[in-house]
Amino acid sequence: MFDYIALYKNFISNPKSLLISPAGYGKTHTISECLKYTEGKQLVLTHTHAGVASLKEKVKKRGIPSSKYHIETIASFAQKYVNAFYCKNDIPEQDDSNNYFPFIVQKAANLVKIKPIKEVVKLTYVGLFVDEYQDCTRNQHQFILALSEILPVYILGDPLQGIFDFNGEELVDFETDLSDFTDSKFELIEPWRWKNSNSKLGDALKEIRSKLEKEINIDLSQYSSVIEILQIAENDIYSWNEKYNKRIRELLNSENNLLFIYPQSENINARKKLVKTFQNRFHLVEAMDGNDFYNFSKIIDEVDPTSVYNKIYRIACNIFNKSELNNWFNRNQLKKKRHEKDKKIIAPINNTLEKLSQKVSFVLVSQILKQIKNIPNIKCYRKELFYDLCKALEQAEYQKISVYEAMKNIRNAKRRMGRKIKGKCIGTTLLIKGLEFDAVAILNAHKFSDPKNLYVALTRASRRLIVFTNNKVLSPYVH
């Protein structure tokens, strides 16, 4: 038996320590176990909001008192200090995320070097865990190094999962950047995620991992007893009669905790189209700083009585199923309805529009979006966007700020709180890394062009992994 307690204790006994942790080997578990042996309050930083949510859940389950830890993303932690202490006016706008986040992290790294601020950190925390270290940009790495002057730092990560190519910024390199940490380096060796649910899947993934590390092609047919493989043509997914489409419907019927992974992350439209194809039976995982959140807020900020109908319609088209929407809305006005039943349905919307054409009110805009959602057969395929937009509209009205400001507040709060993703959804490796689902279906797996993204996709399922590919031999390497 491997002595895990000794590992935990050794790992936290040095002021700079590194733990290499492959996907599903119990990294999150290790953090929560370590928290049993640490003193005082530990700061736990990770990258994604999803990561925060899953860490919180695990730590809570283990019964660790909340006084012993604080979990947050690196960006929101940095943001907190910059908002609190940075005095100049040159902070980029938050929706300019290409510039905003690097700026925030860099300024935060400078701030925590100032003695009185250092003291606040030191008084509040006793140690620092950084999860998913492979996702750190060089910039974030400098921030963590600055914090390591104040607190002992324990980092966990897996170089093979370093796919977070955020803003195209350069990521930390485990080989060259972590020399301070390599004197105290540990490694997890057992694929725990699959121990109870599907231990053979765990063993297969361990084998695939070592192939990916060595850039050897993966012949999936070798693993057909543990991984469900379906050889398909990409476009078949849209055709009701094709196997590809059928199999997905089967999955939607049989699985409750299901994730579809789409290999290309550049464009959200392909995923939107899939959601529509399957009649909103799964939803989109939204990017935390998805442009639509901010763009739609700005559109409403500029609303006036003459443009209000048009702008609401434009936004509705992006949130609801357009085909049904067009039964009720024309481009410039509501459709005339003859039947009493339809008149009754559209009356409240008509009413609200009437009021809006006299005086613009954000609360009324929110009300109208909710009224649209209540129309029979209208489906909302971007629930998170819908709810956040309604909330932003109401807060903007009550707090007398712009919708854009309100939206920033809401997204920041989520960034701080971490979010949970449940049920059935579709995302890209970037959006779902760190998450775990009962069943995972990888769409068009042959499209993966680098080993890291493929490894992340393969390792998300705890029980059932389905791979749709046009070639059973995967070669995700750029040559």
Partner 1 sequence: MAKIHELKIKNFRGIRDFSHTFAAANFICLIGRGDSGKSTILDAISCVLSSRWNLTFFDSDFYNNDTDRPIEIETTLIDLPNNLILENKYGLHIRGFDKSTNEIKDELEDDHEKALTIKLEIQKDLEPKWYVINTRQDSPILISPHDRAKLNVFMISDYIDRHFSWSKGTPLYSLLKQQQDSVSPAGSNMVIEALREAKSKIDNESFEQFKEITDIIKSKADELGIDISSSSTSIDFKDIALKEGKVCLHDAKIPFRLKGKGSKRLISIAIQTALADKGGIILIDEIEQGLEPDRVQHLVNTLKRNNSGQIFMSTHSSNVVVELETSDLFIMKKNASELIVIKTLLQGCIRKNPEAFFANRIIVCEGATEIGLYRAMNNFRIQKGKKNASFLGVRFADGTGSNIIEYCKGFKASGFEVCLFCDSDDPGINNKKDSLGEAGISVIDCEQGNSIENQVFKDLPWNVIKELIDYKGAEFIKDSVNSRCTESLTNSWQETASIEKREALGSTAKDNGWFKRIDCGEFLGTVILKHFDEIQDKKIGRQFTELINWIDNV
3-state SS string over 331-384?
CCCECCCCCHHHHHHHHHHHHHHHHHHHCCCHHHHHHHHHHHHHCCCCCECCHH
Q: Which is nearer to partner 1, 70 or 447 (CB)?
A: 70
Closest separation between CB of residue 115 and partner 1, Å? Answer: 5
Closest separation between CB of residue 70 and partner 1, Å? Answer: 8
Total residues at the site for partner 1 (CB under 8 A)? 20
Q: Which is nearer to partner 1, 74 or 300 (CB)?
A: 74
β-pairing, 218-219 with 473-474?
A: antiparallel
Q: Which is nearer to partner 1, 6 or 123 (CB)?
A: 123
Residue 97's φ and ψ, nearest 5 degrees, are: -65, -20
Closest separation between CB of residue 400 and partner 1, Å? Answer: 13
**371 vs 332: CA distance, rounded Å:** 18
Q: Which is nearer to partner 1, 6 or 87 (CB)?
A: 87
Q: Which is nearer to partner 1, 117 or 226 (CB)?
A: 117
**121 vs 127: CA distance, rounded Å:** 10
Cβ neighbours of residue 92 under 8 Å, at least 6 residues apart?
99, 100, 103
Q: Name the DSSP letter for residue 305.
A: T
- String marking each residue 32-71 x if it binds partner 1 according to CB under 8 A: --------------------------------------x-
Question: What's the angle, vertex CA 172, arms to CA 29 and CA 100, rounded to 5?
Answer: 95
Closest separation between CB of residue 97 and partner 1, Å? Answer: 23
Closest separation between CB of residue 113 and partner 1, Å? Answer: 8
Closest separation between CB of residue 42 and partner 1, Å? Answer: 13
Measured CA to CA in angstroms, residue 79 lies from 37, 83, 101, 102, 214 at distances of 29, 6, 8, 11, 39
Q: Which is nearer to partner 1, 79 or 428 (CB)?
A: 79
Closest separation between CB of residue 124 and partner 1, Å? Answer: 4
Check if the beta carbon of residue 196 is closer than 8 Å to that of residue 60: no
Closest separation between CB of residue 74 and partner 1, Å? Answer: 15
114 Rama class: left (phi>0) / alpha (psi -120 to 50) / beta = beta
Cβ neighbours of residue 200 under 8 Å, at least 6 residues apart?
194, 225, 226
Question: What torsion, rounded to 10 degrees, do the Cα atoms 413, 414, 418, 419 define?
Answer: 150
Question: What's the angle, vertex CA 67, arms to CA 61 and CA 70, rounded to 5?
Answer: 80
Q: Which is nearer to partner 1, 116 or 376 (CB)?
A: 116
Detail the DSSP E strand segments found in 55-126.
69-73
Q: Which is nearer to partner 1, 83 or 254 (CB)?
A: 83
**331 vs 153: CA distance, rounded Å:** 57
Closest separation between CB of residue 108 and partner 1, Å? Answer: 12
Closest separation between CB of residue 404 and partner 1, Å? Answer: 16
Touching partner 1, residues 74-133 (CB under 8 A): 80-81, 83-87, 111, 113-117, 119-121, 123-125
Nearest to 329 by CA among 309, 348, 343: 309
Closest separation between CB of residue 120 and partner 1, Å? Answer: 4
Strand partners, 137: 171
Please, how many CA atoms are within 13 Å of residue 366, restricted to the half-sphere of its CB? 19
Closest separation between CB of residue 66 and partner 1, Å? Answer: 11
Query: What SS3 state is found at 53?
Result: helix
418 Rama class: left (phi>0) / alpha (psi -120 to 50) / beta = left
Closest separation between CB of residue 142 and partner 1, Å? Answer: 18
Angle of helix 27-37 versus helix 49-61 axis, rounded to 10: 50
Q: Which is nearer to partner 1, 63 or 116 (CB)?
A: 116
- Scanning the structure block, which residue is given the tokens 């492979």? 134
Residues forming contacts to partner 1 in the complex (CB under 8 A) are: 70, 80-81, 83-87, 111, 113-117, 119-121, 123-125
